[in-house]
Structure 1
Amino acid sequence: MSLLPRPDRRYLDERGITVREVVDGVKKGVILTGIPLPEGKYQVPLADILILLPPSYPEVAPDMFYAVPHLRLVAGQCEPRCTEARETHVDQVWQRWSRHNNEWRPGIDGIWTMVKRVERALEVAA
């Protein structure tokens, strides 16, 4: 059984995003693999992004997201703000991107909202 509702899976398929659904103890989530990063902004061109899904998803918003490898800005050779924390999920240490979502609209928003938030955060990170 899929962790994601059909509209979420359809969106990811249409965008050509490769996704792995994961269960780690009581935590469930999706790993978006090989996500392109803004050109020249980070030390690598691609990253995997983990989005943990709350038990009541999609009625409740995913909160933060996580990256592997740990991303560093090329300019200044530093980590983006609010990414210093590390957490282990699915037997891997992830860089936590503390970006909270207070504008989730139950019944309207889905994984597409979170993907757009991730893309925006990666673009504007400083």
Structure 2
Amino acid sequence: MSLLPSADRRYLAGRGLAYREVTDGAQQGVILTGFRLPSAKYQVDAASILILLPSGYPDVAPDMFYALPWLQLVPDQRYPKAADQPVQFEGQRWQRWSRHNTSWRPGVDGLSTMLKRVEQALEEAA
């Protein structure tokens, strides 16, 4: 059973992104595996990115995103601002990136919008 609307699945396939649709208890989400990170910004080149899907998605906005492994900025090996709290999902401790969404457009936005926000947060992290 797919959690994602067909437009989201087409978008992910069109970008060539590997993903899993997951349920953990009452929470549902999508995990992007091997997600490429900005070059030389973090201690790794790729990570898994979790986006939890709120009840009512896609009319309700996903709020934050989560990373595995925990990402640290190089060269000082510190966590980015507002990305130092753990969240349990599928038996793992994910790094919560507290980036709130205040401009979601129900009926218009989807994972393409959320991924632009994720990519921007990863690029601009300080």
- TM-score, normalised to structure 1, is 0.98
1:95 corresponds to: 95
1:37 corresponds to: 37
Distance 2:108 2:43 in 1: 35
Amino acid of the residue matched to residue 32 of structure 1? L
Q: What is the aligned-residue RMSD (CA, Å)?
A: 0.5
Matches within 5 A, 1:56-71: 56-71=56-71
Amino acid of the residue matched to residue 63 of structure 2? D
Share of identical aligned residues, percent?
62
1:76, CA displacement in angstroms?
A: 2.0
Following TM superposition, the consecutive aligned residue runs of length 4 or more in structure 1 with deviations greater than 4 angstroms are none
Matched, 1:72 2:88: no
1:26 corresponds to: 26
* Structure 2: runs of 5 or more not aligned: none
In structure 2, the residue corresponding to 1:10 is in which secondary structure?
Answer: helix
Matches within 5 A, 1:46-61: 46-61=46-61
Matches within 5 A, 1:1-12: 1-12=1-12
1:116 corresponds to: 116
Distance 1:5 1:21 in 2: 11
* Structure 1: runs of 5 or more not aligned: none
